[in-house]
Amino acid sequence: MAAKVNGLYAVTPELADAELLLRKVEAAVRGGASIVQYRNKTASQPLRLWHMERLASICRRGGASLIVNDSADMAREAGAEGVHLGRDDGPVCVARQILGPGKWIGVSCYNDLQRARDAVEAGADYVAFGSFFASSTKPGAVQATLDLLRQARKEIALPIVAIGGINAGNAGLLIQAGADAVAVVSALFDAADVEGEARRLCGLFATDHGMQK
């Protein structure tokens, strides 16, 4: 497992070509992604498990951590480092019972600071806010603000992940406001050079953008 949740948090796109997905994720990890979240709402359970097992192997070789969206059971079966829970994915305590200690549990908090406070109390390992910008992955997502992120940073000691329409041009604003990690889908995996784009995004954490937090 990586030391903590920080830097580039790559969220997989839904690709029909499984081998292409694996190649893109491998490139993202080579470029410095510290976390890969596997997110797929449409594939069959056997195919999702096949994806996860191979992604877990890629992450281990590259020093990254695999997080599974929605399902603690599948995260455990695939040997992932943790699970990411949305509003309808059950409580943190149940996921902890399934995964045991030492695994990560992240919680989507949207634009709801109280939900983040509750997640902290329940034993989550990190919280995520967004969407901060218009997102092609979730065009109808609720909008979060930089002020919310700044307030969360003041109150919450856990790592904070920002998500939603993030790219190399706007990620610095979120890092300045207190994000420990930025979750990126389209801007990373739709890039002609996935590894190069990952390096670009990771580089923002080493510049003045990150130092001003």
Active site residues: 39, 108, 138
What's the token pair of residue 136? 């092609």
> E-strand spans in the chain?
7-11, 35-38, 65-69, 82-85, 104-108, 126-129, 160-163, 181-184
Q: Are 179 and 162 in contact (CB under 8 A)?
A: yes
Nearest to 6 by CA among 178, 169, 141, 142: 178
Sign of CA dihedral 56, 124, 28, 137: positive
